[in-house]
């Protein structure tokens, strides 16, 4: 039973479209690198010219004090821009060190393999309960980025996972995106959207997911162009879902319906899930906590 409207609504995340803030996040490490490089250069210049600098500082102590004071105040102003995230607000995984059990909890066949370029990728298949990143279980609002390619049938991810028994699960196929709720171990489908994008098997695509409040937004980049393929209040309280259970009594099939209450997925981590022959690969995973 579908309970999502599947309606794309613009400007749900207006703050995420501010070019400057997004640029700051993406350039964080580059800024730190150049800052460290500049500091090393200044130290080397000081050491090579110490015979000239020390007498100057002695005879111009007031000017030196003013210079240090201005530099200190400037550093206080600029440091928040060099380090825009607080500790614990950023998560990154390149899968070069394997699957650390302190970081990943997963079920089924999760393997680190090398792609055609010799780079490590996460290969997931036959993972019924899925897997999640343990350090981010307390996160509520966040932005998730990774690259994926479909090897067989689907690529799948999960968000707001409080455990491997409760989360929102989405599967991306060549012609549609499907949303499911993991509720106390059950996994009913609650929404499906067909798309006309040219998603091919065994081709890498960049995925960007935003979870804020009740809203879930999914973007995919194809040939350098960003496409919003899903946006809905999929993380809020939903009406009860009717699930059908089938059984046999003396070779007579019996179908029973039962309503289950869907929880509000307020906080939880992220990860991946694929079942049976479904198979996909993942790389370059990054997540930013939104405050």
Q: Is the pLDDT of residue 254 over 50?
A: no
With respect to residue 259, please indicate whether it lies within any of the assigned structural domains. Answer: yes
Same domain, 172 and 253: yes
Same domain, 101 and 45: no
With respect to residue 205, please indicate whether it lies within any of the assigned structural domains. Answer: yes
| pTM confidence score | 0.69
Phi and psi dihedrals of 257, rounded to 5? -110, 145
| Weakest mean pLDDT among 40-54, 86-100, 166-180, 189-203 | 40-54
Residues spanned by the domain of 38: 19-82
Which position has the higher pLDDT, 273 or 63?
273
How many folded domains does the chain comprise?
A: 2
Please give the pLDDT value at position 51: 73
Same domain, 210 and 191: yes
Same domain, 92 and 57: no
Encoding tokens for residue 167? 């989360």
Q: How confident is the model at residue 244 (pLDDT cuts 50, 70, 90)?
A: low
Q: How confident is the model at residue 196 (pLDDT cuts 50, 70, 90)?
A: confident
Residue written as token pair 């999914």: 218
Phi and psi dihedrals of 30, rounded to 5? -65, -40
Q: How confident is the model at residue 171 (pLDDT cuts 50, 70, 90)?
A: very high
Residue 216, judged by CB atoms within 10 A of its CB (0-12, 13-18, 19+), counts as buried
Residue ending a domain, choose from 33, 64, 82? 82
With respect to residue 187, please indicate whether it lies within any of the assigned structural domains. Answer: yes
Residue written as token pair 């897997």: 131
Distance between CA atoms of residues 139 and 270, nearest Å: 9
Q: How confident is the model at residue 228 (pLDDT cuts 50, 70, 90)?
A: very high
Same domain, 119 and 212: yes
Same domain, 251 and 224: yes
With respect to residue 231, please indicate whether it lies within any of the assigned structural domains. Answer: yes
Neighbouring CB atoms inside 10 A of 83's CB total 14
With respect to residue 104, please indicate whether it lies within any of the assigned structural domains. Answer: yes
Strand partners, 107: none
Please give the pLDDT value at position 249: 44
Q: Cα 165 to the chain's mean position, in Å?
A: 20
Phi and psi dihedrals of 45, rounded to 5? -65, -40
Same domain, 94 and 226: yes
């Amino acid at each position: 039973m579908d309970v999502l409207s599947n309606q794309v609504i613009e400007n749900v995340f207006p703050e995420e479209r501010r070019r400057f803030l997004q640029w700051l996040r993406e350039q964080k490490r580059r800024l730190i690198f150049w800052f460290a490089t500049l500091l090393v250069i200044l130290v080397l210049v000081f050491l090579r010219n110490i015979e000239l600098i020390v007498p100057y500082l002695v005879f111009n102590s007031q000017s030196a004090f003013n210079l240090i004071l201005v530099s200190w105040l400037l550093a206080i102003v600029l440091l928040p821009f060099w380090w825009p995230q607080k500790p614990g607000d950023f998560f990154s995984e390149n899968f070069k060190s394997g699957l650390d059990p302190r970081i990943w909890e997963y079920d089924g066949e999760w393997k680190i393999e090398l792609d055609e370029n010799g780079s490590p990728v996460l290969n997931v298949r036959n993972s019924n309960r899925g897997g999640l990143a343990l350090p981010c279980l307390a996160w509520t609002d966040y932005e998730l980025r990774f690259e994926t390619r479909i090897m067989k049938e689907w690529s799948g991810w999960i968000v707001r996972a409080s455990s491997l028994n409760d989360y929102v699960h989405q599967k991306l196929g060549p012609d549609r995106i499907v949303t499911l709720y993991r509720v106390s171990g059950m996994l009913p489908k609650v929404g499906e959207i067909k798309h006309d994008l040219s998603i091919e098997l065994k081709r890498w695509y960049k995925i960007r997911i935003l979870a804020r409040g009740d809203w879930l937004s999914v973007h995919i980049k194809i040939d350098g162009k960003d496409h919003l393929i899903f946006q809905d209040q999929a993380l809020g309280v939903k009406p009860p879902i009717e699930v059908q259970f089938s059984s046999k009594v003396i070779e007579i099939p019996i179908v029973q319906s039962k309503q289950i209450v869907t929880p509000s997925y307020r906080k939880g981590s992220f990860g991946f899930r694929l079942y049976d022959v479904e198979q996909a690969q993942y790389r370059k995973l990054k997540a930013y906590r939104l405050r």
